[in-house]
Chains A and B, each alone.
Chain A
Amino acid sequence: MKKRKLGIYIHIPFCVRKCLYCDFPSAPADRQEQGYYMRQLMKEIRSFEPLGNLYEIKSVFFGGGTPSILPPEQIRRVLGRLCNQFLFEDDAEITIECNPGTLTREKLAAYRECGINRLSIGLQSADNAMLKLLGRIHTWEDFLESWKLAREAGFTNINIDLMSGLPGQTFGGWSDTLEKVAALEPEHISAYSLIVEEGTPFYERYGTAEGQRLLPDEVADRDMYHHTGKFLAEQGYHRYEISNYAKDGYECEHNKIYWTCGDYLGFGLSAASYVDGRRFQNPVDPKEYYAHIGEGYRMFRQMPAQSEKDAIEEYMFLGLRMMRGVSVAEFEARFGRDYRSLYGKQTDELIRRKLLQVQDGRICLTERGIDISNTVLANFIFD
């Protein structure tokens, strides 16, 4: 029997120090706490053993937090556990997020050894003043050092995370960061507009009406965004999702699973899963998470599958985040429904307003459509 593809997300909720804009469940922790968490995580993975008969792994993503804070041995054990339970595709993509300042030659070698073939490095900015403002633990120079080590260790698929729309950031400052980073020729760049999330120190400072004036305004933010796409295209990167750019052949397979409504399993604190038409998420509160370790699979089995309506809506608003958009033929094959009878009216109207376009049987956002994509995507929510 042909096995279905599965992505695995492993959440590592530890970091050296929490960044001021970060709203992920993550905090500094001592070795003992880290060890306890990882043991529980292994139990959780084990409880999903039955899925090994149905699925093979297409990608693994260690996210956080700062997964590279852990001794590489811990990462190796997790991958070992997954290997025992699942078949891996030959060219499975295995990514770990890391921060400059936490990488060493030894660590990188150990990653290579246990099968990790992709790094995602959180740089955010090439401007040390910006890095300080964000509460990052590293400088641009620290990053360059990590970058050199990573290439020397043999990593040929590296992503660099960047942030635009930062407080006080100018167009010039942003394009400077872009230029410096592109000069290193990473295979992949994620460039996000800052989101000021509730519950973060940034929210206290920039969430108020007054605070918002310290951020680049909408026009400046969009100028930066448009420049990003144009500049990176010149450098050989294509935008394949609203905030993601890659050289040919280096799109992130793992993240594409999310946007194409593929199956994925999330392990660890707050991790989300979508398997067999069921969406579920681990508790965000560690106590609650620990209390239910080992029950994940049973709970997943008891959960009803999502409605067709939910599945269709998600397929559309996630699919349209990708520049290639949604194929009408694939849509109809997947749901056994006529696209036009469900969405014909909205689609025509959005095309008329130049927010959507059709290319080779695929429906996708226009440049303008990207800028106000929430407004566009809301049209795909049913009444």
Chain B
Amino acid sequence: MADFDRSRIRNFCIIAHIDHGKSTLADRIIEMTGLLTEREMQDQVLDNMDLERERGITIKSQCVRTIYKADDGKEYMFNLIDTPGHVDFNYEVSRSLAACDGAVLVVDATQGVEAQTLANVYLALDHDLEVVPVINKIDLPSADPERVKKEIEDVIGLDAENAPLISAKNGTNVRSVLEAVVRDIPAPGGDPDAPLQALIFDSVYDSYRGVIIFCRLKQGRVHKGMKIHMMATGADFETVEVGYFGAGQFIPCEELSAGMVGYITASIKNVQETRVGDTVTETERPCSAPLPGYKKAQPMVYCGMYPADSARYPDLRDALEKLQLNDAALQFEPETSAALGFGFRCGFLGLLHLDVIQERIDREYDIDVITTAPSVVYKVHLTDGSVIELTNPSNMPDPSTIEFMEEPVVNAEIMVTTEFIGAIMDLCQDRRGVYQGMEYLEDTRALLRYQLPLNEIIYDFFDALKSRSRGYASFDYELAGYQRSSLVKLDILVNKEPVDALSFIVFEETAYDRGRKMCEKLKEEIPRQLFDIPIQAAIGGRVIARETVKALRKDVLAKCYGGDITRKKKLLEKQKEGKKRMRQVGNVEIPQKAFMNVLKLDTE
């Protein structure tokens, strides 16, 4: 295998807007190249997390190697790297792309080009990849491949004249995609006899083998027993095994050489010693320079994560460490909250990323976590001239020491059918959006451009967008720097005690409205207790909104005779259960779900 003719290797990925059929096409390719029989094939082989299958989205990049016998009679080695489609996971895409020489772009024949189609194509072009367009879902009655071809040419500027028209679901014309890969995507370059130079694009932790490094060899060779050196971390290891990717399994081989994609194990126990983006070289014969790293993933959203059961704090740390191993964008550090105890301040790429991590912690590690209000990274300019980056509202300096503050803004592109333009523009205005322009892509669809403060879109913007466009709007954004803004810290006081986990930073003019809504929402969320509980929103010492949870006056069952006992007991058990899901803040019990639910404030 080591001698496989490099001119017959194709390293490529599939990129697409969410739901355009990327994973289904990957499945078909794997099936058709004979890696798995149809019977062995589980739908969407590459989406191997339960969560991915359930949501129908790809979160983690996955790899597979197959052999394809092309029309020219020769065998080609395909290294297929699946990439996530959601905007939050661009960094994953970026990592995967660095391991590829080309990309198959899947566009839905009914939906056409979407916001993330564009974002992904631009990323691929940034990496100098050859992009091969493919039009999918031609089996659907509403498919309009000619229109979509034109859109690809007009909007993206790719030649789509000969784009394969396929149905990945039915397997129609998938072979023409494989032929296009052979024909259009270049073979990898690199010199197998040069010093080893391999890019780590992913890794996973296996309790038996330690860290498994996924890499693309740019130069040289790697084999079992070789001493290797991590150029960024400086760590040295001896390789235990090298190999390539089957469908959902690791297949060992003798050697990997330049142009190939595969994995290395080296009994690496400490997850800190291998970093995605690092370059692997040979200890004895190092390459002259590391490969350029990836576009580094920068967390944009921060929130606190606390174990619902405080005894599980070490488990939560362990879970976060394991998740971080192959999710470079996840960052965390310990923090404590008066309300929630010991936990972590975690950084994410966006709300979906946060959501996914929370769910993975819940499912894969069985830890119930409470998350606090997400926050963006504010720049606080102090009167002494220094600048601090604020990720936790609790750490906001005294206002008298603040000269001014800056908040991150994004350039957002929203693709929407024309009938909803008004509604979406209203939404963007509400969220302090600055209109940048609009392009009609065709008669019925337009691309709206807005500059929006990031903190306006991290809570519920995506949901609001979907509900105001009946699900038709799609949305993409990228960070566009910082702008000066008048921001204040809003504190929520429950029974006169500030609840640190509920504090957040808000645009001054909307603070009153926000505070009022928070109080109203909290009033719904906090069950009545033995005494009146005032809920207040305050800026500095000034209370701007107030609600009261009235004391519980009556909670008694008038009758309880022989036949009522079983039912009555169930009632008390339920009451007891509810109590367990409460957090004690001062004298008040706050349900755990309240911390997250109070953030869902969008009212149309």
Contacts and interface: CB of A to CB of B under 8 A. Distances in A.
Nearest to A221: B554
Nearest to B563: A272
A130 interface: no
Interface stretch (A147-155, A179-187, A289-297, A373-381): A373-381
Contacts of A321: 560
A266 B575 contact: no
B573 A258 contact: no
Given A271-B563, A353-B530, A218 B554 contact: yes
Contacts of B553: 218-219, 221-222, 371-372
B566 interface: yes
A9 B562 contact: yes
A245 interface: no
Contacts of B557: 195, 242, 373-374
Contacts of A274: 562, 565
B523 to A, nearest CB: 15
B556 A371 contact: yes
Contacts of A84: none
Given A314-B569, A381-B572, A381-B573, A375 B563 contact: no
Contact of B572 (A192, A259, A264, A377): A377
Interface string A344-357: 00000000010000
B569 to A, nearest CB: 7
Contacts of A379: 576
A381 B575 CA distance: 9
Contacts of B194: none
Given A372-B554, A372-B556, A272 B562 contact: yes
A374 B558 contact: no
A267 B217 CA distance: 82
Contacts of A242: 556-558, 560
A317 interface: yes
Nearest to A379: B576
B563 A381 contact: no
Contacts of B563: 266, 270-272, 281
A193 B552 contact: no
B566 A272 contact: yes
B558 A192 contact: yes
Contacts of A383: 576, 580
Contact of A195 (B558, B565, B579): B558
B558 to A, nearest CB: 4
A222 B553 CA distance: 7
Nearest to B527: A375
A378 B553 CA distance: 16
A271 B563 CA distance: 7
Interface in B570-585: 571-573, 575-576, 579-580
Q: Which of A255, A259, A321, A381 has the most CB of B within 10 A?
A: A381
A124 to B, nearest CB: 13
Given A218-B554, A375-B552, A195 B569 contact: no
Contacts of B566: 272, 279, 281
A318 interface: yes
A222 B579 CA distance: 24
B552 A243 contact: no
Given A372-B552, A373-B556, A378 B572 contact: yes
B39 interface: no
Interface string A240-258: 0011000000000001001
Interface in A132-160: none
A243 B558 contact: yes
Nearest to B587: A353
A192 B559 contact: yes
B53 interface: no
A123 B556 CA distance: 22
Given A272-B565, A281-B566, A318 B560 contact: yes
Contacts of B554: 193, 218, 221-222, 371-372
A266 B568 CA distance: 18
Given A371-B556, A372-B554, A375-B555, A264 B569 contact: no
Contacts of B579: 378
A377 B554 CA distance: 13
B195 to A, nearest CB: 62
B556 A374 contact: yes
Contacts of B573: 378, 381
A189 interface: no
A318 B580 CA distance: 22
A313 interface: yes
B562 A374 contact: no
Contacts of B530: 353, 372, 375
Interface string A155-195: 00000000000000000000000000000000000001111
B561 interface: yes
Interface string B511-525: 000000000000000
A227 to B, nearest CB: 14
Q: Which of A192, A195, A370, A372 has the most CB of B within 10 A?
A: A372
A255 B560 CA distance: 9
A269 to B, nearest CB: 11
A266 B558 CA distance: 21
Contacts of B561: 255, 258
B559 A374 contact: no
A9 B575 CA distance: 30
Interface in A289-335: 310, 313-314, 317-318, 321
B565 A279 contact: yes
Interface string B298-330: 000000000000000000000000000000000
Nearest to B559: A192
A174 B268 CA distance: 79
A192 B580 CA distance: 31
Interface in B163-182: none
Q: Which 4 A-B pairs have the closest CB atoms?
A: A378-B575, A218-B553, A272-B563, A192-B558
Given A279-B566, A374-B575, A381-B569, 6 more contacts: A242-B558, A264-B562, A310-B569, A370-B556, A372-B553, A375-B552
9 contacts: A219-B553, A258-B565, A270-B563, A272-B563, A313-B572, A318-B560, A372-B530, A375-B530, A381-B573
